[in-house]
């Protein structure tokens, strides 16, 4: 798979979310590439304005669009992040994770999103601070490395008060210089 295929899939997904009135922000490896350093990824991750309890509503919208093949019939959970995983019919090599905004932090991350131009179209992207917190919430090794890389690259540009506030509220340890 090449970068153009991934970008075309991102465009398709953003249009799907916008056309269905689902507020979103890009998170995951593609967002890390914007705020940190590009890395290989074969999935696209979004934080969406739905709660885990809304799983069936999101699943129905995905099914009705006929753009997706489902990998899992129930929400998945890693640490404190629940999500629906699907695969695009147009590119079966790309999985898509829709993370549910089921707490105050995730809802604030959606409100704080930044709209950016990527390959000629608009994409809502999580702020670097919120992406760091989301990565640390997941607890997976790659996510911890991503958070560290964003902290390193964005060091002088981060809202440290925002980071510390949510780290404290969520019981997350931030690495210090």
Residue ranges per structural domain of the chain: 3-126
Q: What is the pLDDT of residues 44-68, one digit of tens each?
A: 999 999 999 999 999 999 999 999 9
How does the average pLDDT of the chain come out, rounded? 92
- Give me the mean pLDDT over the 81-100 stretch: 93
Q: Are strands 24-27 and 68-70 parallel, antiparallel or unpaired?
A: unpaired
At 1, the pLDDT band (50, 70, 90 cuts) reads very low
- Give me the mean pLDDT over the 125-144 stretch: 94
Residues with Cβ within 8 Å of 62's Cβ and at least 6 positions away in sequence, in order, are 68, 70, 84, 86
Q: What span, in angstroms and rounded, lies between the C-alpha atoms of 93 and 82?
A: 22
Residue 15: helix, strand or coil by DSSP? helix
Looking at residue 30, what is its pLDDT? Answer: 95
> Following CA atoms 8, 9, 14, 20 in sequence, which dihedral angle do they give, to the nearest 10 degrees?
130
CA dihedral over 43, 47, 53, 57, signed as positive or negative:
negative
Q: Which of 53-57, 96-100, 130-134 has the lowest mean pLDDT?
A: 53-57
- Give me the mean pLDDT over the 18-43 stretch: 93
Looking at residue 155, what is its pLDDT? Answer: 93
Name residue, tokens 């129905």. Answer: 60
- The predicted model scores a pTM of 0.93
How many C-beta neighbours within 10 Å does residue 82 have?
20
Percent of the chain with pLDDT over 70: 97
Residue 71 pLDDT greater than 90, yes or no: no
Q: Per DSSP, what are the bridge partners of residue 88?
A: 68
CA dihedral over 102, 137, 75, 90, signed as positive or negative:
positive
**Which H helix or E strand runs over 26?**
strand 24-27
Q: Which CATH architecture has domain 3-126?
A: 2-Layer Sandwich (3.30)
- Give me the mean pLDDT over the 79-85 stretch: 91
Residue 122 pLDDT greater than 70, yes or no: yes
Looking at residue 176, what is its pLDDT? Answer: 58
């Amino acid at each position: 798979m090449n970068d153009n295929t991934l970008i075309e899939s991102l465009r398709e997904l953003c249009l799907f979310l916008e056309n269905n009135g689902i507020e979103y922000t890009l998170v995951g490896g593609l967002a890390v590439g914007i705020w940190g350093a590009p890395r290989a990824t074969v999935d696209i991750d979004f934080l969406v304005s739905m709660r885990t309890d809304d799983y069936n509503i999101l699943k129905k919208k995905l099914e009705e669009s006929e753009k997706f093949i489902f990998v899992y019939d129930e929400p998945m959970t890693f640490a404190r992040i629940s999500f629906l995983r699907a695969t695009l019919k147009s590119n079966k090599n790309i999985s898509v994770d829709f993370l549910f905004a089921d707490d105050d932090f995730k809802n604030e991350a959606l409100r704080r999103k930044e709209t950016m131009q990527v390959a000629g179209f608009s994409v809502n992207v999580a702020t670097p601070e919120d992406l760091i917190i989301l990565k640390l919430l997941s607890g997976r090794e790659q996510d911890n490395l991503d958070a560290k890389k964003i902290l390193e690259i964005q060091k002088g540009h981060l809202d440290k008060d925002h980071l510390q506030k949510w780290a404290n509220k969520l019981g997350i340890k931030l690495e210090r210089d």
